[in-house]
């Protein structure tokens, strides 16, 4: 985001090849997560490796998706090999499937026993569902004590692959753990404009930042961003909050919905999208506040005032 695009920004792609093993019981949401992370526009190569293994390649990155549980000896040795060689581990739990928590916990511990170095992202997925387990309910079954004792790098996060809630932030964490490139921007983003809609689909504002020449250059980019935003509004009409990250031309589009409002911002290709998500969430709050005071908001002013280092500046 370009979490993962950032990783490809390497001098020699082969030398920086990274693999992320994404594991969990069938139906946990692994495939859905990978597809969202890899953004809609990318073509993925997906070689068939064997039963229940998916390998997605994207530049210098390899995502190995593996359904756990009910191992045959052949599959067992195969996934042990994958997990051993993985640079990052992601375990996905269906937080609404409480009946299989114990089994998930066993598989989680087994996976950890094969790899004692890689940072671990634990995703408690499907939090949009009514019967999703709380953090405490998950922690009752999944034991992180050993990880803490061994000082492993791990992160626990509650996500929804469906709405995107918390997903991009947690992947940002993993990317930063995997990525050693000092040049990567970790703090500021370059917002080159925004799209502001009402959740029922009414367009309020589209504003391009920068000098007229830059704006002219970005017109088609924004047209595409607008089409993506409208698509997102339709797809997420049933949810109060949602967020997504897409690749649009050579930039990234972050769209977030918060009850009545939908805001999309376009940021640079290598920018940390998690920061953009954070900024937009704060903008949402400020918009709601000013609506309560009956003042008309100007999102551009808000960005300039509160995030002076996060938009494109041109002299
Ligand atoms: N409600 C909800 N459904 C999800 C979520 N993530 C995945 N699903 C659904 O769960 C099912 C299994 O997802 P899939 O990605 O195929 O699981 P996998 O077997 O782990 O790869 C699919 O029907 C998905 O649409 C989520 O966050 N919320
Ligand atoms: Mg799958």
Q: What's the confidence (pLDDT) of residue 293?
A: 73
Which residues does residue 258 pair with via DSSP β-bridges, in sequence order? Answer: 241, 261
Which amino acid residue places its CA nearest to atom 13 of ligand 1? Answer: 29
Q: State the first-to-last Cα distance of the chain, in angstroms, to the nearest integer.
A: 28
Q: Which pLDDT does position 200 carry in this prediction?
A: 95
**Torsion angle of C-alpha atoms 244, 126, 31, 177, degrees rounded to 10:** 70
pTM of the model: 0.76
Q: How far is the CA of 54 from the centre of ligand 2 (A)?
A: 7
Tokens of residue 117, six digits: 């170095």
Give the span between the Cα atoms of 190 and 309, in whole angstroms: 8
**What are the residues whose beta carbons fall under 8 Å from the beta carbon of 279, sequence distance 6 or more?**
189, 191, 265, 303, 307, 310
What's the number of CA atoms in the CB half-sphere (13 Å) around residue 157?
Answer: 22
Task: Give the 3-state secondary structure of residue 17.
Answer: coil
Decide whether any atom of ligand 1 lies within 6 Å of the 126 Cβ.
yes
The whole-number pLDDT of residue 181 equals 56
Q: Is the CB of 264 under 6 A from ligand 1?
A: no
CA distance linking residue 167 with residue 156, whole number of Å: 11
* Digit-coded pLDDT (tens) for 128-168: 999 999 999 999 999 888 888 888 889 999 999 999 888 88
Q: How far is CA 2 from CA 102, 182, 252, in A?
A: 35, 15, 7
Q: Residues in the chain with pLDDT < 50?
A: 1-14, 40-43, 47-48
26 within ligand 1 shell (Cβ under 6 A): yes
Pocket test for ligand 1, best of 161, 164, 165 (most atoms within 8 A of CB): 161
pLDDT of 2 reads: 46
The 10 Å Cβ neighbour count of residue 70 is: 10
Q: What are phi and psi of 125, to 5 degrees?
A: -90, 170
SS3 state of residue 289: helix
- Which domains, from first to last, does the chain contain? 3-178 (3.40.50.300), 193-306 (3.40.1840.10)
What are 206's strand-pairing partners? Answer: 195
Angle at 32 between CA 48 and CA 160, to 5 degrees: 160
As a dihedral over the C-alpha atoms of residue 74, residue 113, residue 20, residue 64, rounded to 10 degrees, the angle is: 20
Q: What is the pLDDT of residue 14?
A: 45
So what's the pLDDT on residue 12?
44
C-alpha 27 to ligand 1 mean position (Å): 6
Give which of 109, 76, 75, 73 is closest to 91, Cα–Cα. 109
Give the largest Cα separation in the chain, rounded. 66
Q: Give residue-wise pLDDT tens across range 64-89.
A: 888 887 666 666 777 888 899 999 99
Rounded to whole angstroms, the Cα distance separating 303 from 50 reads 49
Closest CA to 205 of 284, 264, 275, 282: 264
Where do we find the tokens 């511990």? 109
Strand partners, 158: 124
Question: Is the CB of 24 within 6 Å of ligand 1?
Answer: yes
SS3 content of the chain, % helix, strand, coil (to 5): 40, 25, 35
Structure tokens given for 177: 């753990």
pLDDT confidence of residue 51: 56
**Which one-letter DSSP state was computed for residue 240?**
S
* Ligand 1 site, residue 272, Cβ cutoff 6 A: no
Please work out whether the CB of residue 191 comes within 6 Å of at least one atom of ligand 1.
no
């Amino acid at each position: 985001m370009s979490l993962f695009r950032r990783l490809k920004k390497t001098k020699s792609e082969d030398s920086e090849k990274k693999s992320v093993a994404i594991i969990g019981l069938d139906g946990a949401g692994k495939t859905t997560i990978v597809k969202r992370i890899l953004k809609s526009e990318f073509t993925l190569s997906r070689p068939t490796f064997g039963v229940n293994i998916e390998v997605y390649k994207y530049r210098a990155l390899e995502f190995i998706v593996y359904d756990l549980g009910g191992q045959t000896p052949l599959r067992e040795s195969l996934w042990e090999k994958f997990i051993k060689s993985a640079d990052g581990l992601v375990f996905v739990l269906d937080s609404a499937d409480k009946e299989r928590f114990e089994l998930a916990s066993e598989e989680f511990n087994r996976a950890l026993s094969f790899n004692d170095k890689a940072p671990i992202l634990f995703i408690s997925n499907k939090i949009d569902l009514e019967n999703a387990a709380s953090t405490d309910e998950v922690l009752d079954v999944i034991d992180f004590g050993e990880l803490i004792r061994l000082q492993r790098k791990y992160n626990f996060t509650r996500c929804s692959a469906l709405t995107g809630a918390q997903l991009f932030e947690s992947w940002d964490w993993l990317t930063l753990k995997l990525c050693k490139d000092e040049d990567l921007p970790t703090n500021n983003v370059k917002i080159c404009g925004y799209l502001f809609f009402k959740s029922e689909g009414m367009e309020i504002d589209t504003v391009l930042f920068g000098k007229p020449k830059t704006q002219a250059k970005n017109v088609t980019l924004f047209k595409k961003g607008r089409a993506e935003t409208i698509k997102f509004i339709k797809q997420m009409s049933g949810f109060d909050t949602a967020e997504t990250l897409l690749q649009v031309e050579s930039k990234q589009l972050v769209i977030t919905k918060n009850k009545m409002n939908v805001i999309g911002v376009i940021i640079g290709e290598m920018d940390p999208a998690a920061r953009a998500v954070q900024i937009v969430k704060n903008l949402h709050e400020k918009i709601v506040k000013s609506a309560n005071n009956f003042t008309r908001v100007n999102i551009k002013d808000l960005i300039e005032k509160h995030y002076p280092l996060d938009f494109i500046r041109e002299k």
